[in-house]
Structure formats: C-alpha cells, structure tokens
C-alpha cells in the first residue's frame, strides 16, 4: 500500500509542486509504522515529548524506564502520587507528572479503551484525546498518526511541519493550506516525508 501511495504522491506533485516532488523522489517509499508500545505507554511518551526536542524527550523516557526497572513495577505503578518527586527528578515537569497520573487513573477506571478508540474517526478521536488533562491537538494528531495509523492526518501544531510547509508554499507561490489539502487522503504521508527531509538535511537543499 505504501508503494502505491508513494506513486500517487509522485504523480500529484509532478506538475503542481516540484519542490515536493523532489522530496518524495529522494526520500523514496515511506511506510506508516504503528507504535509497538501499548496505549498507556504510548500516551505517557507523548506527555514527555510535548514541547521538547527528540533528544531531550528520549533522555527523560530512558530515566522513566530505568525507574520502572529499578522499582520492579509496571509503568502504570510508577506513575503514582507517591513517586511524584522521583518522576520530577527524571526530568518531568510538575504538570507532566500530573497529566500522567491522571491518565493512569482513566485507564484504571476503564475510561480509555483501545478497541473503542480504534473505531472512532479522526474528529471523534481528537475530541476524546483533547478531553484528557494535559493533552492538546498535537497529542491527538500524534495518537491518530502513530498509534492508530490514520493516513490522512496533518499535525497543525507541529513547528517543523508548519515552518517547512510555509517554505514550500513560498517556493511554489501557493497557499500552504491548499497544498496540504491537495494530498488528502494521504496527508500523514506528506508529513512523514517533510519530517524525514528536515531530519536528513534534504530540506535545506530545496530551492
């Protein structure tokens, strides 16, 4: 399926957006991979990642997993009020500790069910995720993309995507929102290509 989608992206961009066509061509086929984490672990990782660089978030996540192993507890057991200070020492802010503990309570109360969420459309899922304390649009979009594998998501609050699509719009002399919508129902793949191009340095070569 990813190869078929890749060919569609190449065909659509060939005449309309040469800068994106160059990115799609050089990146090659990209696969949308769902997270191997369970839903609680995935969502805790999202909390940690909010407004942080990947490097900083990975460092904190490593500390949290180390705490889990040293205490011989499950991740859900680690996120308890008695461990608040220890979690802060791992690098989490007060609000992130609170968000994770409240999230754990929702799971314990059976108010978050992966099977129910998997049947929701994008709008329903986004509304539910954002109803949780400490979760905003970006977290909802990341959950839709990387846990449930929805192919038509654009992370509007992602700073890298916003900066890059604005550069593309300027190069192509087109409206950035129209460019994004042009690639529906595969906006997730557009985002994946832009992230990859940014991380590899390819985006700097685009003129």
Task: Write the CATH number for 101.
Answer: 1.10.340.30
For 123, the domain range is 39-131
Q: How confident is the model at residue 74 (pLDDT cuts 50, 70, 90)?
A: confident
Does residue 64 sit in the same domain as residue 121? Answer: yes
Same structural domain for residues 53 and 109? yes
> From CA 125, how far away is CA 35, in angstroms rounded?
17
Q: What is the pLDDT of residues 110-147, one digit of tens each?
A: 999 999 999 999 999 999 999 999 999 999 999 999 99
pLDDT band at 1 (very low <50, low <70, confident <90, very high): low
| pLDDT above 70: percentage of residues in the chain | 99
- Whether 67 and 45 share a structural domain: yes
Q: Is residue 142 part of a domain?
A: no
In the DSSP assignment, the letter for residue 136 is -
Tokens of 127: 């509304």
Contact 206, 22 (CB under 8 A): yes
Q: How many domains would you assign to the chain?
A: 2
Q: Is residue 137 part of a domain?
A: no
User: How does pLDDT run across 87-101, given as a tens digit for each residue?
Assistant: 999 999 999 999 999
Asked if the structure places residue 125 within a domain, the reply is yes
Contacts of 124 (CB under 8 A, 6+ apart): none
Q: What is the pLDDT of residues 49-63, one digit of tens each?
A: 998 888 999 999 999
Q: What's phi and psi for 73, nearest 5 deg? A: -120, 160
54 and 126 both lie in a single domain: yes
Q: Are residues 9 and 73 in the same domain?
A: no
Q: How confident is the model at residue 73 (pLDDT cuts 50, 70, 90)?
A: confident
- Given pLDDT bands bounded at 50, 70 and 90, which one contains residue 71? low
Chain position carrying tokens 């099977």: 115
């Amino acid at each position: 399926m990813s190869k078929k989608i890749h060919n569609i992206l190449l065909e659509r961009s060939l005449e309309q957006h040469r800068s994106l066509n160059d990115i799609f061509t050089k990146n090659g086929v990209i696969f949308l991979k769902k997270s191997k984490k369970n839903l609680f672990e995935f969502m805790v990782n999202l909390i940690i990642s909010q407004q942080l660089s990947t490097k900083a978030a990975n460092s904190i996540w490593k500390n949290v997993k180390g705490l889990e192993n040293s205490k011989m507890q499950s991740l859900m057991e680690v996120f308890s009020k008695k461990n608040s200070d220890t979690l802060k020492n791992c690098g989490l802010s007060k609000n992130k500790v609170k968000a994770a503990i409240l999230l754990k309570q929702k799971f314990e109360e059976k108010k978050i069910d992966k099977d129910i969420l998997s049947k929701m459309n994008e709008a329903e899922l986004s509304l539910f995720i954002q109803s949780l304390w400490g979760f905003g649009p970006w977290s909802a979009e990341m959950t839709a993309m990387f846990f449930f594998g929805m192919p038509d998501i654009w992370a509007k609050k992602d700073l890298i995507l916003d900066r890059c699509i604005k550069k593309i719009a300027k190069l192509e002399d087109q409206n950035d929102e129209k460019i994004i919508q042009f690639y529906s129902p595969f906006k997730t793949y557009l985002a994946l290509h832009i992230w990859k191009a940014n991380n590899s340095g390819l985006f700097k070569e685009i003129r």
